Structure 1
Amino acid sequence: MKLFVTGFPNDFDDTDLKEMFELYGTVISARFVMDRNTGRRKSFGFVEMPDSLEALQTIEALDGAGIKGKKLSVKKAEERSADGGGGRDNFRSSGGRDNFRSRDRDNDRGDFKRRF
C-alpha cells in the first residue's frame, strides 16, 4: 500500500522517513518529492509498505502525531485517474487540498486553467 505523507520537519530526509516507518513494519520505499526547478525537497512524499494491515496501523499511529513542533499527516495514497494531473508516480493523497488538480474555470475574462 502506498501512503501519502506530509508535515515532516525540513531536516528529515528519505533515510529518516524510511527508518521512522520501519518502526511500524516493512518498507519497500520512502521518499520525499523533489522540486524539479530548485532541486529541494517538497513538503510531501510517499512511503510504500507491502502489508496493507501494517500500513493501515501505521496511518492510525502517525496521522496527526506531532514531531519537532509539526503535525504529521499520513494517508492512503490513491491512484490518479488517466485524465492527467498525475505526478511521476501517478498517486495523490486521499483527502484534503491535494485532491484539486487543473480545472477549467469560466469567469468574466473567459476560460483559463488554474493549478492548485
Structure 2
Amino acid sequence: MRIYVGNLKYSVNDDTLRAMFSEFGEVASADVIKDKFSGQSKGFGFVDMPSKAEAEDAIQALNDTMQDGRKLTVNEAKPRTERAQQRF
C-alpha cells in the first residue's frame, strides 16, 4: 500500500521517513519528494508497505501526530490521475 505523508519538516530525509514507518512493519520504499532544481524537500513524501494491514496500522498511529513540532498528515496515497481530475 502506498502512503502519503504530508507536513514533514524540511530536514526529514528518506532514512528518517523509513525509520518512522519501520516500527509498524516492512517498508519497501520511503521517498521524500524534492524540488528537481534546488534539491530542497517539498515537505511531503511517500512510503510503500507491502502489507495492507501494517500500512493501515501505521496510518492510524501516525496521522495527526506531532513530529518535530509539525502535525503530520498521513493517509492512503491517491493515484495521480485521480488528483489531476480534482483540479478541474
TM-score by length of 2: 0.89
Higher relative CO (Cα under 8 Å, sequence separation at least 6) belongs to 2
Gaps of 5+ in 2: none
Gaps of 5+ in 1: 86-98, 104-116
**4+ runs deviating over 4 angstroms:** none
Distance 1:100 1:43, change over 3 A: farther
Match of 1:32 in 2: 32
2:81 counterpart SS class:
coil
- Structure showing the higher helix proportion among its residues: 2
1:59 counterpart SS class:
helix
2:4 counterpart SS class:
strand
1:15 aligns with 2:47: no
TM-score by length of 1: 0.69
1:31 counterpart SS class:
strand
Report % sequence identity: 35
Q: CA RMSD in A?
A: 1.9
Alpha-carbon distance, 1:100 to partner: 4.5
- Structure showing the higher strand proportion among its residues: 1
